[in-house]
Structure 1
Amino acid sequence: MAAVGCAVLGVGLLVGAVLGSWLRDDGERDRSADAFQQARSVWRSVPVDTLFPPTLTGPEAGPGGADRTWTRIAVAPDGRCEGAFDPLLETALSPVGCQRLLRATYTDATSTSVTTVGLVITRSDAAGMRALRSRFDAERLDLRTDLLPRPYAAKGTAAAHFGDAQRASWRISVAGDLPVIAYAVTGFADGRSIDRPEPAARATARGATTGPAQAGLGHDAKGVAAGVERAFRKAVDAATEPR
């Protein structure tokens, strides 16, 4: 995948990925060692529209159970993980290694928010992935404001001014059954700076009243990350299940 938007991933058909229960089900399953290893190379052979659907729809995925729709506005060339995360997050993820980083950026239906979503294809075995996930759960590393992913600010798009200072909410999901880490980071499309970013888990909590919560940015981070992770899982299942 010399460039994720080019021929190696293909163009694919315009599809929508419906979230629904995706926000409540991580889809993890028992996998053989061979299936786990094969999952590491699935991204090379599927269309970009399979991994990053042009449109993601989330019934009841917004604040108050409102429906949400996100449109893809940019796909980054695949590459390494250097510079894609805050330094401490890069250190926290280092035990599982980074074989490849795949990223895209979405905007909501009103072009008010922008969300960069990423898939880190790791070098780790299943035991290493489970260990990292256990550490994230035990130490709540996904809630720390000094461990954030960085945006992909594609020029000429609504995300052109989406930098580190604009990050408002984020989600990080370490898979226990696949060599992948899915994440998303969200901000306002108008480029306003955010003093106190809030993790999606808190910004989507009942009764949350912070700016990111009231604007639905936690829901955007959670919904887009969940949708892309589910798309990756479906691609892996299609490639590894016996025919």
Structure 2
Amino acid sequence: MSTEANYAGPRRLPRIPPPPPYRPTTGQDEPTPDTAPEPAPAPSAPPRPAVPPKPSRPAPPGYRDTASFHLANAAAVWQTRSAAKAPRKPARAETSPQERPADRTPLPPERDAATLGQPAEPTPPRRPAVRKALVAGCLVLGLGLIGGAAAGSWLAGDPGGQATAATFGDARGLWHSAPVNSLFPRTLHGTAAGPGGADRTWHRIAVAPDTNCADAFDPLLAKALSPAGCQRLLRADYADATHSSVITVGVVTTRTDVSGMRALDKRFTTERLAARRDLMPRPYTVPGTLAADFGPAQRASWSIQVLPDMPLVVYAVSGFADGREVPAPQPADEATRTGATSAPAQSGLGHDAAGVADRIEHAFRTQAAKAAEEE
């Protein structure tokens, strides 16, 4: 017989009634349940008055409702408390100036909150006396260099040199105040002034008396120089060391001012008047010397220099000392070029004209500078 057939389900225990409620004894007989009086009904509480509902507050500006506002407030409070509880970095220990390394730059002074938005004041120099001395030394050195450069450019004939009115006037009076040997030295030396860089030497053989410019130039050259005027003309003759060439050098003292000399120099440079054969200067012929046969037909090369910072025009013209004629004269600028094959170039007559003119110009500038220093 199977177990499932005999199983009649779970057994139910009989129900036991609950015990009576516990009541403390007072020493007297307690009434039985049958005779116990019924308890009096508890008094009922009075009804509470109805509470009116709270009026809804309008949402603050920027929020949809009050719930959003309180939620945002709660988030802000939470962030503030979290930042307060976060551990702070320990402050760096400040060292005294004696404890800092000597090779470190001093730290800037502390700045309070009121000055954080303002630029920091510049730190004063550590050694003002030394800096002032260095600045003063540089200033003196710079002025000396500028002054030396200006004097050098003026003496060298640089057109950029600026001559004062006093110096300009002193140069105008050199023709009668300076000794002839200082203006036309007896011997001129030219280092590397000859063809191929050879040294040249010229000796003075004659000096002309000072005169005016009447009949001293060909008509076209006299016309080209006429805007500057002519106060005085000085001339001298030189011969080279071998007595194979002769050179006439002349200096015209003009009547114009600085602006007039600059205008004349600009015209000669722009129109290349100094290279025109019809504007060659005339030689100074002196009987009984190497220049006795030096006439217009013997002119081989020439140089004309208009000084823009002095009232002077310096020129020189060269030729053969034996009196031979030169059919094709050539200006000194062309006759001194490398590779020139003309007769004036190969004989060195172009170097003679340019070299003598340069040294006479230097002599006049030197004397003008001395006259300015003596005043």
What is the TM-score of this pair, normalised by structure 2? 0.58
1:45 shift after superposition:
1.5
1:158 shift after superposition:
0.3
Query: Is 1:168 matched with 2:300?
Result: yes
- Indicate conservation of the 8 Å contact 1:168/1:212, yes or no: yes
Structure 1 counterpart of 2:209, from 56, 77, 81: 77
Greater alpha carbon shift after TM alignment, 117-126 vs 80-89:
80-89
**Fraction of identical pairs, as percent:** 60
- CA distances 1:73-122 after superposition (whole Å, capped 9, x unpaired): 00001101122212101100000000000000000000000000000000
1:198 is paired with a residue whose SS is: coil
1:34 shift after superposition:
2.4
Aligned to 2:170: 38
Aligned to 1:115: 247
Query: Is 1:226 matched with 2:343?
Result: no
The structure richer in strand per residue is: 1
Gaps of 5+ in 1: 1-21
1:230 is paired with a residue whose SS is: helix
- CA distances 1:9-34 after superposition (whole Å, capped 9, x unpaired): xxxxxxxxxxxxx9xx4255211122
- CA distances 1:26-45 after superposition (whole Å, capped 9, x unpaired): 25521112221222112211
Aligned to 2:157: 26
Which one has more relative contact order, counting CA pairs under 8 Å at least 6 apart? 1
CA distance in 2, matches of 1:59, 1:240: 28
Letter in 2 for 1:195: P
2:235 is paired with a residue whose SS is: strand
Structure 2 counterpart of 1:57, from 173, 180, 189: 189
CA distance in 2, matches of 1:116, 1:231: 16
2:175 is paired with a residue whose SS is: helix
Structure 2 counterpart of 1:215, from 313, 330, 347: 347
Sort the Cα spacing of 1:107 and 1:181 in 2 relative to 1 into closer, same or farther, 3 A: same
- Indicate conservation of the 8 Å contact 1:84/1:151, yes or no: no
Aligned to 1:182: 314
CA distance in 1, matches of 2:335, 2:279: 16
1:133 is paired with a residue whose SS is: helix
Gaps of 5+ in 2: 1-152
Structure 2 counterpart of 1:155, from 281, 287, 291: 287
CA distance in 2, matches of 1:179, 1:84: 18
Query: Is 1:67 matched with 2:199?
Result: yes
1:242 shift after superposition:
6.1
CA distance in 2, matches of 1:37, 1:26: 17
Larger radius of gyration: 2
Query: Is 1:132 matched with 2:239?
Result: no
- Indicate conservation of the 8 Å contact 2:175/2:232, yes or no: no
Letter in 2 for 1:199: P
Q: Could you list the runs of 4 or more consecutive aligned residues of structure 1 that deviate by over 3 angstroms after TM superposition?
A: none
- Indicate conservation of the 8 Å contact 1:162/1:189, yes or no: yes
- Indicate conservation of the 8 Å contact 1:105/1:116, yes or no: yes
CA distance in 2, matches of 1:31, 1:220: 29
CA RMSD in angstroms comes to: 1.5
